[in-house]
Amino acid sequence: MDATVLKQLAAEKAVEYVKNGMVVGLGTGSTAYWAIQFLAKRIQQGLSIQCIATSTQSDELARSLGIPMTNFADIQTIDITIDGADETTSDKQLIKGGGAALLREKIVAAATKFYIIIVDENKVVEKLGKFKIPIEVVPFGYEATMRKIQQLGANVAVRLNKAGKILETDNHNFIIDADFGLIEHPQKLHQQINEIVGVVENGLFINMANIVIVAHANGTIEVL
């Protein structure tokens, strides 16, 4: 089965967890895209929920599909969030931020009671780190911040957009992609990165996911 079908299978399964009256966090990326589509379909069939998005991209998509949107001022907690990931281990430690949405994704995840990650089997790894860790930094002095990240032992580069300019996140920050090689101690590295002045947040999501739904190439679904 091709990757798109696998993304659809994982997303369809995740949407089954959503019940009437819930506040639902909408992830970002090509897998979360399908979850948003399936949620819209269930809303058309009568499901009553309110949603909060992790990016302007997902917010616009959801609104275009008629999904009712809310915001943090009007809610206390988020019942379920469904999001993708760039890598996951079997014990549900993640790298996210390939789509530059990691900061809003982590804020939404931290406010969520039940955080569901959806991936195809290619994203499941033994150790995190083949995918470079996206790190959101403030633009001011980003070169100095990047050097500090490099001093932790990474090869670093500021992320560019398709036009070759420095990519700006939804929060008007930059993304540094940091290659640490395979990571032995993700929690420790997460702390070390976030201690650097100028770093806003990084793409290691440690002990955040409640379940990871994996779609396998043969069409079976596994819940980690």
Ligand X SMILES: O=C[C@H](O)[C@H](O)[C@H](O)COP(=O)(O)O
Q: Give the residue numbers annotated as catalytic, written as ranges.
A: 105
Piece in contact with ligand X (CB under 6 A), picked from 12-20, 24-32, 41-49, 165-173: 24-32
Nearest-CA neighbor of 203 among 109, 112, 80? 109
* Calpha distance 31→65 (Å, rounded): 16
* Alpha carbon of residue 53 to chain centroid: 11
Piece in contact with ligand X (CB under 6 A), picked from 94-102, 147-155, 167-175, 180-188: 94-102
Question: Is there binding between residue 84 and ligand X (CB under 6 A)?
Answer: yes
Piece in contact with ligand X (CB under 6 A), picked from 40-48, 73-81, 100-108, 209-217: 100-108
Question: Is there binding between residue 88 and ligand X (CB under 6 A)?
Answer: no
Dihedral sign, Cα of residue 105, residue 110, residue 114, residue 119: positive
* Calpha distance 175→173 (Å, rounded): 7
Strand order in the sheet with 174-179: 155-158, 174-179, 133-137, 199-202
Measured between alpha carbons, how far apart are the two ends of the chain, in Å? 21
| Cβ proximity to ligand X, 32 vs 209, nearer residue | 32
Question: Is there binding between residue 59 and ligand X (CB under 6 A)?
Answer: no
* Calpha distance 36→26 (Å, rounded): 7
Residue 99 assigned as binding residue: yes
Question: Which of 12, 23, 26, 27: binder of ligand X (CB under 6 A)?
Answer: 27
Residue 98 assigned as binding residue: yes
Residue 41 assigned as binding residue: no
- Are 133 and 193 within 8 A, CB to CB? yes
Question: Which of 24, 53, 80, 102: binder of ligand X (CB under 6 A)?
Answer: 102
Tell me how far, at minimum, the Cβ of 64 lies from ligand X, in Å. 18
| Cβ proximity to ligand X, 133 vs 189, nearer residue | 133
* Calpha distance 145→123 (Å, rounded): 29
Compute how many residues bind ligand X; rule: CB under 6 A: 18
Residue 92 assigned as binding residue: no
What are the structure tokens assigned to 72, written together?
């943090």
Question: Is there binding between residue 25 and ligand X (CB under 6 A)?
Answer: no
In the annotated binding site for substrate, the residues are 28-31, 83-86, 96-99, 123
Q: Which residues bind ligand X (CB under 6 A)?
A: 27-32, 83-86, 96-102, 105
